[in-house]
Amino acid sequence: MSDATFIFQGTVKRRGAATLARLPVDARTLVVNVDHVLEAPAALAQLSGHTITVRVAGRPVPAVGQAMIFHTNGWIFGEGVAVRSVREEAVRRSHVAMLSRGGDPVEHKRQREVGARFDRADVVVSGRVRLVRLPSEPAGGTRRGARVLARAALKPARPASEHDPHWREAVIDVDHVHKGEPRGRQIVITFPASIDVRWYKAPKFEPGQRGTFLAHGTTIEGEGRRPAVSRRMRARVALARAGATAGGRRVYTALSPLDFQPQHEPGGLHALIQARRTVTR
């Protein structure tokens, strides 16, 4: 389920067919009516009642007239919509709660992703960013580091594709611990200041920010030459591990936009934490 971005209940209308004229078809290509959208990105949230093409994951291929829950990802968008299925499930009693919960499928998707990110985090805290510094600086920062950061902030933003992350450290004063056992009343989160396409979605912390932080224990490398691998593979490795070894510096990172929620932003992490508190009481 965590590998799917578009989850819906649908009924198979045709096998070996498609809603897009030039799409090659085979026995695993289905025309499916979207009966009920359960989780979706905003672009697909309004597809209930529409017919789309689904390339199923394997066998057995669902029969015509069979109602299934499809866990899918976007594939082709044109005169119609085609998606690739990660997994299909026959509708069962255990799905009743999910099928009847109502609400916004975009928010349901976000809540599931936030929950998965929370589960993977080593430490979750609420607090305030005391300062941002260069990784080599002592705890209080330096005047030179402040000047470097100030100059960096004045540089015009421009698109990039092969830049280093330009690591910075955010020192967080901890108010509440929601998960894990941080040492003391502060934690340090290393984050990429780069606006490179690989890093632009990662939270960019500034002094004074308040909110909830999901910190993931990671080993990062220094900035410099990278192995000759594909851009997609570099991005996946970098986002998953924030770089590999070269010095073996163990840090906390927050690389996903789901790893930080401002204090006054409703829902998301705050709702998840409150719900888990209620369950554990």
**Tens of pLDDT along 192-216?**
999 988 899 999 999 999 999 999 9
pLDDT attached to residue 227: 34
Is residue 180 over pLDDT 70? Answer: yes
Q: In this structure, what CATH number is given to the domain that contains residue 45?
A: 2.40.50
Is residue 261 over pLDDT 70? Answer: yes
Q: Do 177 and 94 have their domain in common?
A: no
Q: Do 14 and 58 have their domain in common?
A: yes
Task: Give a yes or no: residue 241 inside a domain.
Answer: yes
**Tens of pLDDT along 122-170?**
999 999 999 999 986 655 554 554 454 445 444 444 444 456 899 999 9
Q: Note whether 67 and 35 are within 8 A (CB).
A: yes
Q: Which of 73, 102, 131 lies at the terminal end of a domain, its last residue?
A: 102
Q: Pairing state of beta strands 67-77 and 81-90?
A: antiparallel
Please report, as a single letter, which amino acid is at residue 241. Answer: R
CA trace torsion 93, 97, 100, 104 (10° rounding) = -140
More confident residue, 277 or 48: 48
Q: Do 34 and 72 have their domain in common?
A: yes
CA-wise closest residue to 83 among 126, 122, 40: 40
Task: Give a yes or no: residue 137 inside a domain.
Answer: yes
CA-wise closest residue to 194 among 158, 165, 153, 159: 165
Give the chain's mean pLDDT: 81
Q: Do 191 and 83 have their domain in common?
A: no
**Tens of pLDDT along 78-108?**
889 999 999 999 888 777 777 778 788 888 8
User: What global pTM score does this model have?
Assistant: 0.65
* Longest Cα separation, the chain: 70
Q: Which of 44, 73, 102 lies at the terminal end of a domain, its last residue?
A: 102
Displacement of CA 221 from its chain's centroid (Å): 22
Q: Note whether 80 and 109 are within 8 A (CB).
A: no
Q: Do 179 and 210 have their domain in common?
A: yes
Q: Do 173 and 146 have their domain in common?
A: yes
Identify the weakest region by mean pLDDT among 26-40, 239-253, 264-278: 239-253
Question: How many domains is the chain partitioned into structurally?
Answer: 2
Residues 184 and 163: their CA atoms lie apart, in Å, by 34
Please write down the HEC assignment for all residues of the chain: CCCCCEEEEEEEEEECCCCCCCCCCCCCEEEEEEEEEEECCHHHCCCCCCEEEEECCCCCCCCCCCEEEEEEEEEEECCCEEEEEEEEEECCHHHHHHHCCCCCHHHHHHHHHHHHHHHHCCEEEEEEEEEEECCCCCCCCCHHHHHHHHHHHHCCCCCCCCCCCCEEEEEEEEEEEEECCCCCCEEEEEEECCCCCCCCCCCCCCCCCEEEEEEEEEEECCCCCCCCCCHHHHHHHHHHHCCCCCCCEEEEECCCHHHEEECCCCCCHHHHHHHHHHHHC
Which residue in the block uniquely carries the two structure tokens 């920010």?
Answer: 209
Range of the domain at 12: 6-102
- What is the rounded average pLDDT of the residues 65-71? 95
pLDDT attached to residue 150: 45
